[in-house]
Amino acid sequence: MNYLDLDKTEAYKTLRALGSKAKAFDFASLLTAERVKNSAVQMSEGLTYAWATKPVDDPILAALQALADEQELIEKYKSILNGETMNPGENRKVLHHLLRGQLGKPVIHDGKDLGAFYRQELERFAGFAGDVHSGKLRGTGGKPFSTAVQIGIGGSDLGPRALYLALENWAEAEGRRKLRAEFISNVDPDDASRVAASAPLGETLFILVSKSGTTQETLANELFIKDKLVKAGLEPSKHIVAVTSETSPLAHNPAYLDSFYIDDFIGGRYSSTSGVGGVILSLAFGPETFKDLLAGAHEADKQALEPKIVKNAALLDALIGVWERNVLGYPYTAILPYSQALSRFPAHLQQLDMESNGKRVNRNGQPVSYSTGPVVFGEPGTNGQHSFYQLLHQGTDVVPLQFIGFAESQRGDDVTVDASTSQTKLKANLAAQIVAFAKGKADANRNKEFLGGRPSSLIYGKRLTPKALGALLAHFENKVMFQGLVWNLNSFDQEGVQLGKVLTKKALSGNSGDPALDAYCALLGV
């Protein structure tokens, strides 16, 4: 396999040349019904990736295909699936796809079949959730558990929380709701205190999630909660389960009711489909719901093996993103789901993308001379329309947009006002925004003029079900992976978080040895 920096590829030269002579895409004339119809890729689980309003044409797509081929993206993806060491900085395999099913060779590490290990843990926590739901497992006082509270931060919080919120309405509509869930993440004591004050502690099961078992915030919050449990006359070991690695201090520890395991080959931001997301989702909505989510993700992983970019949504999305980032020069991307259930999905994608590809050295530790991961942000529509869309439409800079929408709501509970349902209004707004951003509108009053040419893509489907959600999640994970491979990055480490940890320890020591740090500590009263 050949690992090249982007600017060492032939295809990149072609793309730069195309970029330098390209006129701006005039979507006012270019965006025909025909283009909308023809610029779409079927994804798994009934989803479609539609890119008619992206600034690409056949020559650009051909050059992007050449880039995908030259960078051997599919072959490198297969190396990941086959368990080769694809996180060189930490000398690790990258195995989150294996959580969802086997697509490569069996992955054996130290004599252990990791696919079998992941399946075993999945069945263990599915069984555990079943015991909670049946009432076989109960709180100290004998009450059935009504509430699950996840204690974790970063990858142990954002993905699981986003997925939980994404399925809450679906589960209630389908009669699948088992427990309600809450999350504690921040070391700010108000976060844990608020949850502890409102949760019915005697009926609450806490899920302590830390792969290393040494995360400062999570350990502080664990002790915070243990203290509350003891003060309430409850036995902490009957109210806490751990999700961790087998080498962590939390593993095989009688302080917990049970422990479920992942390993170093599941990166935090890629761990939603492990026990990190699986325990709380299985408790809240039943193990079958979580297994459906895995099935949806697995199907998307399989489709991502397709070498033709116009038939592979994740690959195409990744490459168009590279075109926008490295040739057109756009430094950000907005994620705009027209679904209130996806309210925290942008925050998860923000982590996934910015932590994976927010890097300035390549996988060999050499600085690169091109832009890598963009800033990612977003909020649900239509809310955003009444907020930051002003800048997106009429600001001085162009922000590429990723829309997401569904034909049906999750709850099916609706009202008709002025001859349309709210769900229809939601979709009409979405369609209107795509066209407005692309085409713009001339106006003699320049303050009412819209230049258009604001690129977007749309992922749409029938309804946000667990399978569709799994497919959506895997789409973005694979998109980010492909972009990291194009940029020749290691998308699976995160050295950028280390310096803050070191300086925090120094700050807490009372004498950091750095007068500026001491001065800030004095201001804040550390």
Nearer to its own copies, 126 or 219 (CB): 219
Placement of tokens 């998308």 in the chain: 491
Rg for the chain, CA atoms, rounded: 24
Nearer to its own copies, 1 or 524 (CB): 524
> Rounded to whole angstroms, how far apart are CA atoms 229 and 186?
19
Q: How far is CA 246 from the centre of its chain?
A: 25
Whether 10 is catalytic is no
**β-strand pairing of 40-42 with 48-50:** antiparallel
**By CB neighbour count within 10 A (0-12 exposed, 13-18 middle, 19+ buried), where does 72 fall?**
middle
Catalytic residue among 168, 217, 355, 477: 355
Q: Given phi > 0 = left and psi -120 to 50 = alpha, else beta, which region is 519? A: alpha
CB of 97 to its own copies, least distance (A): 22
Q: Is 178 helix (H, G, I), strand (E, B) or coil?
A: coil
The letter for the amino acid at 300 is A
The letter for the amino acid at 70 is E
Catalytic residue among 21, 23, 34, 386: 386
The letter for the amino acid at 502 is V
| Tokens coding 468 | 């569709």
Nearer to its own copies, 155 or 202 (CB): 155
Distances (CA, A) of 501 to 101, 143, 214, 305, 339: 35, 40, 12, 38, 36
**β-strand pairing of 180-184 with 147-151:** parallel
Nearer to its own copies, 169 or 303 (CB): 169
CB of 229 to its own copies, least distance (A): 12
Nearer to its own copies, 287 or 321 (CB): 321
CB of 172 to its own copies, least distance (A): 7
**By CB neighbour count within 10 A (0-12 exposed, 13-18 middle, 19+ buried), where does 258 fall?**
middle
Placement of tokens 């497919």 in the chain: 471
> Rounded to whole angstroms, how far apart are CA atoms 166 and 466?
9
Nearer to its own copies, 82 or 340 (CB): 340
CB of 127 to its own copies, least distance (A): 30
Strands (E), 144-214: 147-151, 180-184, 204-209
> Rounded to whole angstroms, how far apart are CA atoms 332 and 29?
26
Nearer to its own copies, 65 or 357 (CB): 357
Q: How far is CA 12 from the centre of its chain?
A: 28
**β-strand pairing of 332-338 with 375-377:** parallel
| Tokens coding 38 | 């023809």
In eight-state DSSP terms, residue 326 is I
Whether 90 is catalytic is no
CA triplet 482, 486, 491: central angle to 5 degrees? Answer: 60
CA triplet 349, 351, 353: central angle to 5 degrees? Answer: 65
In eight-state DSSP terms, residue 186 is -
Preceding amide of 48 cis, omega within 30: no
Phi, psi torsion values for 409, nearest 5 degrees: -75, 170
Whether 386 is catalytic is yes
H-run or E-run covering 401 = strand 401-406
> Rounded to whole angstroms, how far apart are CA atoms 44 and 41?
10
Catalytic residue among 13, 105, 448, 501: 501
Active site residues: 355, 386, 501
